[in-house]
Structure 1
Amino acid sequence: MGASLPPKEANLFKLIVKSYETKQYKKGLKAADAILKKFPNHGETLSMKGLTLNCMDRKAEAYELVRLGLKNDLKSHVCWHVYGLLYRSDREYREAIKCYRNALRIDPDNIEILRDLSLLQAQMRDLMGFVETRQQLLTLKPNHRMNWIGFAVAHHLNSNASKAVDILEAYEGTVEDDYPPDGERCEHGEMLLYKISLLEECNYLAKALEELKKNESKIVDKLSYKEHQVSLLVKLDHREEAEKLYMTLLSMNPDNYRYYEGLQKSVGLYSENSQYQASEVEQLESLYKSLERQYTRSSAVKRIPLDFLLGKKFRDAADSYVRPLLTKGVPSLFSDLSPLYDQPGKADILEQLMLELENSIRTTGGFPGRMENEPPSTLLWTLFYLAQHYDRRGQYDLALRKIDESIEHTPTVIDLYSVKSRILKHAGDLVAASALADEARCMDLADRYVNSECVKRMLQADQVTMAEKTAILFTKDGEQHNSLYDMQCMWYELASGDSYFRQKDLGRALKKYLAVEKHYADINEDQFDFHSYCLRKMTLRTYVEMLKFQDRLHSYAYFRKAAIGAIRCYIQLYDFPSKSTSEEEDEMSKLSPSQKKKLKQKQKKAESRAKKETEAKSEESNVIAASKSGKRNVKPIDLDPNGEKLLQVEDPLLEATKYLKLLQKHSPDCLQTHVLSFELNIRKQKILLSYQAVKQLQRLDADNPDSHRCLIRFFHKMESLPVPVADSDKLIWAVLEAERPGFSQLHEKSLIEANSNFLEKHKDSLMHRVAVAEMLYLLDPSKKEDAIRLIQDSSNNLLSTNLALASVEEWKLKDCIAVHQLLGDTFNDSDAALRWKGRCADYFLYSTYFEGTRSSAISNSTYNHISLNGPIDAAHNVGSASSNGNICTTEKLKELVV
């Protein structure tokens, strides 16, 4: 570097490099200017000055200087390397790789450039290139341990674990017998465990176990050693040894569920779906009884039998499990037992058991069969459990009765208000749920979890302003948006985006959804620093797990929800585009001069008000930051707080397709992925892609209402298209005609017949009937009344006393809301929508959407809420009616209870 310079300037160039590495950027700039004063066209100095300016947030100047430097010295590997570093800082990894490759053409053995290239190849998953680069590094510097390990990891990531084992064994052959020294024992032990995991992955189980035992003295992590050993013993079917070792592990940690699972495997009593024969259940029961005698303080050994026991044995085990937890007052008891509700019959047994315990405590003061009296709190936690139990089963009247009695018993327990809020949310009274959550928050203003629950309830009730004011109570410097974004608070952004979407504010909704997508991009970027760190520190097993996690990063629920939300926003934007400038001018021309003047003044006032609010928020946050830290921190101002620029896209469907591709790649088994694919492609007139989405829906769930809708809509669209003229269109038409008989629903049937058959198959399901009605109206608009009657003739077992209707499904609130919107929007029949609303108001008494008789929508206006426990529900009304902003009504609540 700087070889073409005289000695004095060459030393100054070395100073620039050193200053860059030690982050002394001003010193580096000074040295660069000194060189450029004499040699203004020196390419490497210009490049290094640009790189230094890049670190000082002067990107435009940096790119200009680096490009000028490269132009002046195209054959300098330093200029190409610096250009690559500049691209890397901006996450332009593909461009950076090109620059590194150009640098290596000039200096093929430069270790620094090879190392930087290998990091980018690992980041971009260019695994073949990663292997080649690591091999070149090993060839150049074979006495460096990190190069051996990096080469092995490269082969492992490239699905060649056996080659990775060979490399590690070759490396071990180069070290001395007394290796490692004391300072490197942990790193060497990790390398050995990594090698054993590779042998296990290659299915060399006996060799892996042999290696493990041979290197026991060199492995520092004894717990990982035992866990690896017992895993290998189980796979090799050495059950007796595995059982003994699992007992040893359980003595170390008797609450580790994985150890119990392994112990069951070692004794041959494990089932993936928890389905056991009677003899196996007896063996498992005796096993856990012996373990319970051995580990008396373990909760896991008492909880696990509840998963496989049945009938009276299950009831007895559940009885002995819940009694001490009710006495102790464990709020999470219901969460612990809720997975049992998915097993047939167990929910009924638990209900009967808890009611018997409640009755016994009320009548005798203690549990059945015991002389000792229970503390008063035991009744409280029993009622608390029953409230959650009835909530889970959709019996909201009983749930509210139990939770109100709990609050009357002990009005100072915060969990009671949180659970009542959750019950009201499930029952459909989102406003009252928000108010109750606010009551809970005010009872402990230092509890961040309760505050977050309150914010979530407010967003569900579309009280966005209140939610924002509540959220900033726990954000840095009292500044809401930037802090929550910096903390990657995705639950808030998703809930806020959903609320804005419901309110038809697509700009703000898109802003929140895309913020989540940016978080995932940042998480993906965060892995970059670990490529070199993990190889250096030898945390190889964790490193490989982290890379696998990053590969499936976009398959997680938060990203899927954000992507689905963004796609729906873009579809809405396409279906209902905002008015163009010409259209607005046409409307303005129709107004009188006075009306035009008033409208312009109104728009100017709104713009200035929004600008002032943004500046005031920024100024307020800066003042708070200055008062806390002693210096003024200027925070970036959001130039598009309402997401208006996001709405100004030329092709909304093209933007939506970007997120759809990620869903198709990472969530191919999610039904919603292919529903959205169909909706997008049918609008883009992409016939084959729409057909592909229909086929995927039929593969995943042919009986789903959305799958049926897409199938009928697609072939109805095909029938309505004109006869193709172009050869390519004729070919597509012929393919689809040949494929149609492959759908069993359409084989030798018209679309109307297929729709009728679907109804016959699913006539007891509300949403299936709705899908059939919607398709009937699509296929034959003259049958609109028949379609509406088909929906209104649906039955609900909530009110059904006829035993013949026992198989009819119980309606869900969100489904009934969707039906009401469908009747109003798609069928455009306000009378039918009104009739449906009245019918649902009788079913969902607490629903504010349907204005049920017990909802806050009614009770707030009349103050005659029918109370199951008068004072408590009266307090609930006060909270619902008066809680706004950050007003706390706890004192009113206490007065009413007293």
Structure 2
Amino acid sequence: MAMKALIMNAQGKTDEAFGLAKEALTVDMKSHICWHVYGLLYRSIKNFEEAIKAYKFALKLDPDNNQIQRDLAILQIQMRDYQGHIQSRFTMLQARPKFRQVWTALAVAHHLAGDPAEAERVLTTYEETLKATPSRQDFENSEAVMYKNTLIAEQGDYSRALEHLETAVKHNLDRLGYLEGRAEYLAKLERNEEAATAYRTLIERNPEHPEYYEGLIDAAKRLPLDFLEGNGFADAARAYLTFMLDKGIPSTFANLKHLYSDSSKKDTLLKLVSEYTEAAAKDEAKSEEKKDESKGETAGLYYLAQHYNYHLSRDLTKALEYIDRAIERIPDSVDFHMTKARIYKHTGDLVKAAEVMDKARSLDTKDRYINTKAAKYQLRNDENEKALKTMGMFTRADTPGGPISDLLDMQCMWFLTEDGEAFARRGETAMALKRFHQIFNIFEVWHDDQFDFHSFYLRKGQVRAYVDMIRWEDRVYEHPFYTRAALDAVEVYLKMHDKPSANGINGGDGADGDGDSERKKAARKARKEQQRLEREIAEQAAKRDPNKAKPAAGDTKKVDEDPHGLKLAATTEPLKEATKFLAPSCKKYLLALQCLNSAIALDQSNPKVHERIVEFRHVVKPELATLPAKVAEVIKSSYPAIEEAADLAKVNGEFLAGNKGSPAHILSGVRTQKVLGSADKAACEKQLLDLVKMDATTPDIAEEALETLKAWKSGEATAFKKAAAAKWPQVSRFA
């Protein structure tokens, strides 16, 4: 009966399988096979907690069953039950102490639990049991020795790690691992000359690997332009700029912009490039010889356009002037048009930015990068259909479902994110949710994919790669793409909750507070598109050559039953759906505190940092009593920004009083008032409306204030937008 349940589950009859498995247990509660199968069924539906319970029952009935023990160990590491995993691996070692794999598995268990010293001891104990030295061609032994070396290094004992590398590891099969480890350890031990030589050896071996150059730079006390000052810097910069601009190298500004954090170096570079450009123009005027247009004066103009477009030296009027002069000299330059599009983006004119970037794309239709940039700018301008058509130039033409299907297969998350955000701005809630859920599903696949590797790494001896993978998986939901999509989805669901749609299809507001008619129009359009897609797939299936071999059952692509997100948008529980996105990162107070303290160390005066400082204390204070004692203790001892007993409204009031002339600080202070409830809604709205009148207010700050008013469901949003459009007519978002 239990085995039949397994077969039924493999056929997709999950409910019937569980029913039969439960019936099997009622017949024989002491059957380890029945309990094992019950655990396998729970594992198949990803209910790992119940699967672990079932496996433990099975092991009580048959303690020596190696297969059940292995299945339990795999689930324990999947759930990050490190202590349980260690115990399972130790039990397996006791049963089969002659196999290297079980020793390695126990070492990895200790390592992942945060004890590299114990992991090293386990490997050393196994080495002492060997009667003969393994062959140098023994891959499994080679990997184990390299893994032991990384364990020594992780303990911070780089001297011993280097010694072990030069003795036990030097002649193993992983020559590259030896060379990389040696360079790293020499650098850590500050033996810089030897480290530089080691990194040069690696660069000769692979000149395309950027990390080797970074290591060499660190060992060689960084580049001269980074540490020189005054006249010494000016002389070195002049020589560097002359060499680069004479050759017309487009990346000159990109190579130097990190120096702009030093205002004196920024001013020196501007002066040097301006002098160079003027001199080059005079030389070219005198010379009758025809010269490469991309060099000399043109290269200087391009640098100056980038200089004035950069946020630390921004003057967009001058930036446009210089880039237009450069384009006049080389009208078909892709780089120049891309820079012009970026300048328009920074002015807020997204329509013009998209047009110019598409012009750049048309100048080189074989370049995937510029094609991607054009699509991105079109999405920022809410041109979803046009952007998809642009991306379709580089996707497979025969893919059923069109370009979006191919982009999904390739897990092209930047496009899915931008596409979803554009749909959200247009008020097309269904498609916005569809895109955000597609990103959620991609991360879920990545998380689930680790399962098979818990046993694979032992069979193939890939220990170091496995440990790296586990650590990457532990942080996968911290990826910016996931965080961005999750916040976007939550915002949409909150709007649906605050203002449910009458038709249940598009629950959020329109882009500018449009009514139900726009949402119904979008829903009708989505339904028509879904019907068109179904017809297209059916026609392609009908045209398929009947003589060609049909794909295997396992190769059949699963049909998306909700391609336009209509079912997602029709949910009656938006808050419940929103929590799915938050679950991987919700209420991680210590991680939040760690990030916040890092932000404070960078710039405590930043208005966004102030918002987070007050909000963190406001949210965490009532939670302290319910948190684990150690967590509460760490929060109390590691959060010096605001005292626990401080009056947060008073702290925020002082912040506003001290920054009356800064629109960014006022915006953050007012939003904090709203969070604390220390001012009424009307007073907060008036303070935001007054931001438009301030000379220091930028379009970016105004746009952020407008979004804040919309989020508050403020009736003043329309008035604010009208005033902003009058002040900044070029900004597309206010049009």
Please, what TM-score do these two structures have when normalized by structure 1?
0.67
**Residue 839, structure 1, aligned to residue 723, structure 2:** no
Q: Give the distance between the partners of 1:388 and 1:762, measured in 2 at CA.
A: 31
**Residue 812, structure 1, aligned to residue 698, structure 2:** yes
In structure 2, the CA distance between the partners of 1:791 and 1:566, relative to structure 1 (3 Å rule), is same
Q: Give the distance between the partners of 1:212 and 1:473, measured in 2 at CA.
A: 50
Q: Give the distance between the partners of 2:389 and 2:147, measured in 1 at CA.
A: 50
**Residue 317, structure 1, aligned to residue 203, structure 2:** no
Match among 664, 688, 703 for residue 767 of structure 1: 664
**Residue 385, structure 1, aligned to residue 303, structure 2:** yes
User: Does structure 1 retain, via aligned residues, the 8 Å contact 2:32–2:57?
Assistant: yes
Letter of the structure 2 residue corresponding to residue 199 of structure 1 = I
In structure 2, the CA distance between the partners of 1:708 and 1:93, relative to structure 1 (3 Å rule), is closer
SS in structure 1 opposite 2:36?
A: helix
Return the offset for 1:141.
1.4
Letter of the structure 1 residue corresponding to residue 320 of structure 2 = L
CA deviation digits over 1:84-116, x for unaligned, max 9? 334333333223323322332332222222222
2:561 paired residue number: 639
In structure 2, the CA distance between the partners of 1:665 and 1:698, relative to structure 1 (3 Å rule), is farther
Match among 558, 569, 574 for residue 481 of structure 2: 558
Q: State how 1:536-555 maps to structure 2 within 5 Å.
A: 536-555=459-478
Letter of the structure 1 residue corresponding to residue 607 of structure 2 = N
Return the offset for 1:324.
4.1
**Residue 653, structure 1, aligned to residue 571, structure 2:** no
Q: Give the distance between the partners of 2:172 and 2:428, measured in 1 at CA.
A: 59
Q: State how 1:761-800 maps to structure 2 within 5 Å.
A: 761-770=658-667, 779=679, 787=687, 790-796=690-696
2:76 paired residue number: 121
Return the offset for 1:526.
1.6
In structure 2, the CA distance between the partners of 1:422 and 1:233, relative to structure 1 (3 Å rule), is closer
1:826 paired residue number: 714
Q: Give the distance between the partners of 2:318 and 2:545, measured in 1 at CA.
A: 53
Return the offset for 1:319.
3.3
User: Does structure 2 retain, via aligned residues, the 8 Å contact 1:190–1:540?
Assistant: yes
CA deviation digits over 1:495-517, x for unaligned, max 9? 11211221223332222222212
User: Does structure 2 retain, via aligned residues, the 8 Å contact 1:47–1:70?
Assistant: no
User: Does structure 2 retain, via aligned residues, the 8 Å contact 1:660–1:673?
Assistant: no
Q: Give the distance between the partners of 1:817 and 1:227, measured in 2 at CA.
A: 48
User: Does structure 2 retain, via aligned residues, the 8 Å contact 1:128–1:158?
Assistant: yes
In structure 2, the CA distance between the partners of 1:173 and 1:510, relative to structure 1 (3 Å rule), is same
2:351 paired residue number: 431
Please give the root-mean-square deviation of Cα atoms over the aligned residues, in Å: 4.4
Q: Give the distance between the partners of 2:612 and 2:74, measured in 1 at CA.
A: 48
Letter of the structure 2 residue corresponding to residue 639 of structure 1 = E
Q: Give the distance between the partners of 2:523 and 2:197, measured in 1 at CA.
A: 76
In structure 2, the CA distance between the partners of 1:62 and 1:664, relative to structure 1 (3 Å rule), is closer
Q: State how 1:491-510 maps to structure 2 within 5 Å.
A: 491-510=414-433
1:704 paired residue number: 607
Return the offset for 1:756.
5.5
**Residue 449, structure 1, aligned to residue 365, structure 2:** no
Q: Give the distance between the partners of 1:665 and 1:714, measured in 2 at CA.
A: 13
Q: Give the distance between the partners of 2:153 and 2:163, measured in 1 at CA.
A: 11
In structure 2, the CA distance between the partners of 1:566 and 1:650, relative to structure 1 (3 Å rule), is same
Q: Give the distance between the partners of 1:169 and 1:469, measured in 2 at CA.
A: 60
Match among 313, 327, 332 for residue 251 of structure 2: 332
Return the offset for 1:783.
6.1
**Residue 480, structure 1, aligned to residue 397, structure 2:** no
SS in structure 2 opposite 1:764?
A: coil
Match among 244, 250, 256 for residue 194 of structure 2: 244
In structure 2, the CA distance between the partners of 1:324 and 1:220, relative to structure 1 (3 Å rule), is farther
Letter of the structure 2 residue corresponding to residue 388 of structure 1 = Q
Return the offset for 1:154.
0.8
Match among 346, 355, 364 for residue 283 of structure 2: 364
User: Does structure 1 retain, via aligned residues, the 8 Å contact 2:144–2:463?
Assistant: yes
SS in structure 2 opposite 1:132?
A: helix
Equivalent pairs counted in the alignment come to 684
Q: Give the distance between the partners of 1:522 and 1:555, measured in 2 at CA.
A: 15
User: Does structure 2 retain, via aligned residues, the 8 Å contact 1:428–1:848?
Assistant: yes
User: Does structure 1 retain, via aligned residues, the 8 Å contact 2:659–2:665?
Assistant: yes
Q: Give the distance between the partners of 2:393 and 2:342, measured in 1 at CA.
A: 22
SS in structure 1 opposite 2:131?
A: coil
Q: Give the distance between the partners of 2:689 and 2:351, measured in 1 at CA.
A: 32
Return the offset for 1:211.
2.9
Return the offset for 1:553.
1.4
Q: Give the distance between the partners of 2:685 and 2:659, measured in 1 at CA.
A: 20
Q: Give the distance between the partners of 1:449 and 1:357, measured in 2 at CA.
A: 31
SS in structure 2 opposite 1:472?
A: helix
Q: Give the distance between the partners of 2:547 and 2:306, measured in 1 at CA.
A: 43
Q: Give the distance between the partners of 1:485 and 1:172, measured in 2 at CA.
A: 48
Moved more, 482-491 or 455-464: 482-491
Return the offset for 1:262.
5.8
User: Does structure 1 retain, via aligned residues, the 8 Å contact 2:337–2:356?
Assistant: yes
**Residue 521, structure 1, aligned to residue 441, structure 2:** no
User: Does structure 2 retain, via aligned residues, the 8 Å contact 1:516–1:562?
Assistant: yes
Structure of higher CA gyration radius: 1
Q: Give the distance between the partners of 1:832 and 1:178, measured in 2 at CA.
A: 78
CA deviation digits over 1:734-774, x for unaligned, max 9? xxxxxxxx96899789x5x7665433311221132345567
SS in structure 2 opposite 1:662?
A: coil
Q: State how 1:527-606 maps to structure 2 within 5 Å.
A: 527-579=450-502
Return the offset for 1:713.
14
Return the offset for 1:708.
5.5
1:169 paired residue number: 124
User: Does structure 1 retain, via aligned residues, the 8 Å contact 2:136–2:172?
Assistant: no
Moved more, 65-74 or 650-659: 65-74
In structure 2, the CA distance between the partners of 1:494 and 1:602, relative to structure 1 (3 Å rule), is closer
In structure 2, the CA distance between the partners of 1:834 and 1:219, relative to structure 1 (3 Å rule), is same
Q: Give the distance between the partners of 1:444 and 1:492, measured in 2 at CA.
A: 21
Match among 133, 143, 147 for residue 178 of structure 1: 133
Q: Give the distance between the partners of 2:591 and 2:574, measured in 1 at CA.
A: 25
Return the offset for 1:127.
0.9
Q: Give the distance between the partners of 2:661 and 2:177, measured in 1 at CA.
A: 54
2:389 paired residue number: 469
Q: Give the distance between the partners of 2:544 and 2:660, measured in 1 at CA.
A: 62
1:50 paired residue number: 8
Return the offset for 1:462.
0.5
Letter of the structure 1 residue corresponding to residue 695 of structure 2 = S
Please, what TM-score do these two structures have when normalized by structure 2?
0.80
Q: Give the distance between the partners of 1:773 and 1:833, measured in 2 at CA.
A: 18
User: Does structure 2 retain, via aligned residues, the 8 Å contact 1:669–1:700?
Assistant: no
In structure 2, the CA distance between the partners of 1:225 and 1:554, relative to structure 1 (3 Å rule), is same
1:401 paired residue number: 321
Match among 360, 371, 375 for residue 292 of structure 2: 375
User: Does structure 2 retain, via aligned residues, the 8 Å contact 1:246–1:259?
Assistant: no
User: Does structure 2 retain, via aligned residues, the 8 Å contact 1:451–1:471?
Assistant: yes
State the structure with bigger RCO (CA 8 A, min sep 6), 1 or 2.
Answer: 1
Return the offset for 1:152.
0.9
Return the offset for 1:563.
1.4
**Residue 253, structure 1, aligned to residue 203, structure 2:** yes
1:595 paired residue number: none
Letter of the structure 2 residue corresponding to residue 503 of structure 1 = R
CA deviation digits over 1:351-380, x for unaligned, max 9? 22222232222221399xx99996322144
In structure 2, the CA distance between the partners of 1:216 and 1:372, relative to structure 1 (3 Å rule), is farther
**Residue 849, structure 1, aligned to residue 715, structure 2:** no
In structure 2, the CA distance between the partners of 1:397 and 1:627, relative to structure 1 (3 Å rule), is farther
Letter of the structure 1 residue corresponding to residue 177 of structure 2 = S
CA deviation digits over 1:49-100, x for unaligned, max 9? 336xx1x555556555555555555444334334433433333322332332
Return the offset for 1:663.
3.1
Letter of the structure 1 residue corresponding to residue 167 of structure 2 = K
How much identity, in percent, do the aligned residues show? 32
Return the offset for 1:712.
10
Q: Give the distance between the partners of 2:595 and 2:497, measured in 1 at CA.
A: 19
- Unaligned runs of 5+ residues in structure 1 are 1-42, 268-283, 289-303, 585-597, 675-695, 719-727, 729-741, 797-810, 852-898
In structure 2, the CA distance between the partners of 1:443 and 1:95, relative to structure 1 (3 Å rule), is farther
User: Does structure 2 retain, via aligned residues, the 8 Å contact 1:327–1:374?
Assistant: no
Q: Give the distance between the partners of 2:169 and 2:436, measured in 1 at CA.
A: 51
